[in-house]
Amino acid sequence: MSKKESHSTSHEEQFEIAIVGGGICGLILAIGLLKRNVKITIYEQSQSFREIGAGVAFTANAIQCMRLIHPGIVDALKTVATSNGNPDDPNDYLQFADGFNQKEDEESKIIFKLYAGYRGFEGCHRAHLLDELVKLVPDNVVRFCKRLDHYVDPGDEGKLKLYFEDGSTAEADAVIGCDGIKSKVRRILLGEENPASYPTYSHKSAFRALIPMDRAASALGDELARNQRMHLGPSAHLLHFPVAHQSLLNVVAFLDDSTERSYSSRLSEPGSKQEVVQAFASWGPTVRTITNLLDDEMDKWFIFDTNDHPAPKYASGRVCIAGDAAHAASPHHGAGAGIGVEDALALSRLLELVTESMEKGGRASKQEALTAAFAAFDAVRRERTQWFVGSSRMICNVYELNNAETGNDMDKIYEEIKWRSHKIWHFDIDGMLRQVEDQYKGKLDGDNIPKSML
Establish if 216 belongs to a structural domain.
Answer: yes
pLDDT greater at residue 4 or residue 437: 437
CATH code where residue 258 lies: 3.30.9.30
For the entire predicted model, the pTM comes to 0.93
* 97 and 191 together in one domain: no
Residue 147's SS3 state is coil
Residues 102 and 244 in one domain: yes
- Let me know if residue 268 belongs to a domain: yes
Split at pLDDT 50, 70, 90, the class of 127 is confident
pLDDT at position 52: 59
What confidence score (pLDDT) does residue 366 get?
92
* Structural domain ending residue among the three candidates 274, 305, 336: 305
Query: Model confidence at 117, in pLDDT bands (50, 70, 90)?
Result: confident
Calculate mean pLDDT across residues 212-226: 95
Work out how many domains the chain is built from and give that number: 2
Q: Give φ, ψ of 193 to 5 degrees.
A: -90, -5
Query: What pLDDT is stored for residue 446 in this prediction?
Result: 59
Inside any domain, residue 270: yes
- What confidence score (pLDDT) does residue 51 get? 59
Q: How far, in Å, are 201, 204, 205, 294 from residue 259 at the CA level?
A: 9, 9, 10, 24
Number of Cβ within a 10 Å radius of residue 430:
10
- Do residues 179 and 98 share a domain? no
Are 261 and 367 within one domain?
no
Confidence tier at 200 by pLDDT (50, 70, 90): very high
* Domain end position, chosen among 305, 326, 341: 305
Asked if residue 449 has pLDDT above 60, the reply is: no
One domain, residues 234 and 135: no
Do 321 and 392 lie in one domain? The reply is yes
Count the neighbouring beta carbons within 10 Å of the beta carbon of residue 57: 24
For residue 451, is pLDDT > 50? Answer: no
Do 68 and 212 belong to one domain? no
Q: Under DSSP, is residue 273 helix (H, G, I), strand (E, B) or coil?
A: helix
Integer Cα distance of 277 and 275 in angstroms: 6
Residue 227 DSSP code: S
251-296 confidence digits (pLDDT tens) = 999 999 999 998 888 888 999 999 999 999 999 999 999 999 999 8
pLDDT greater than 90 at residue 85: no
Q: Report the pLDDT averaged over residues 116-143.
A: 90
The verdict on 102 and 226 lying in the same domain is yes
**112 pLDDT above the threshold of 70:** yes
In the chain, the percentage of residues whose pLDDT exceeds 90 is 77
Instruction: Please check whether residues 340 and 213 belong to one and the same domain.
Output: no
Confidence (pLDDT) at 103: 86
378-434 confidence digits (pLDDT tens): 999 999 999 999 999 999 999 999 999 999 999 999 999 999 999 999 999 999 999
pLDDT of residue 383: 98
List, for residues 57-68, the tens digit of each pLDDT value.
Answer: 899 999 999 999
Active site residues: 208
pLDDT of residue 119: 82
In this prediction, residue 7 carries a pLDDT of 39
2: confidence class by pLDDT, cuts 50, 70, 90: very low
Asked if residue 387 and residue 367 are part of one domain, the reply reads: yes
Residue 299 and residue 180 share a domain:
no
Q: Residue 98: helix, strand or coil by DSSP? A: strand
Q: How confident is the model at residue 154 (pLDDT cuts 50, 70, 90)?
A: confident
Domain membership of residue 146 as a residue range: 16-83+123-199+308-401+424-453
Arithmetic mean of pLDDT, 82-96: 86
The pLDDT, as a whole number, for residue 244 is 86
- For residue 417, being part of any structural domain is answered with no
The domain boundary residue, chosen from 248, 283, 305: 305
pLDDT of 152: 95
Confidence of residue 54 (pLDDT cuts 50, 70, 90): low
CA–CA distance, 218 with 79 (Å, rounded to integer)? 26
Task: Encode pLDDT of 329-363 as tens digits.
Answer: 999 999 999 999 999 999 999 999 999 988 887 77
Specify the CATH number for the domain of residue 71: 3.50.50.60
Supply the mean pLDDT for the chain: 91
Q: Are 111 and 96 in contact (CB under 8 A)?
A: yes
Residue 254: phi and psi, rounded to 5, are: -105, 130
What single-letter amino acid sits at 83? S
For residue 291, being part of any structural domain is answered with yes
- Over the Cα atoms of the chain, what is R_g? 22
- Residues 185, 73 share a domain: yes
**Is residue 164, in this structure, part of any structural domain at all?**
yes
Helix (H) or strand (E) holding 248: strand 248-256
Residue 323 lies in a domain: yes
273 lies in some domain: yes
pLDDT for the residue 230: 97
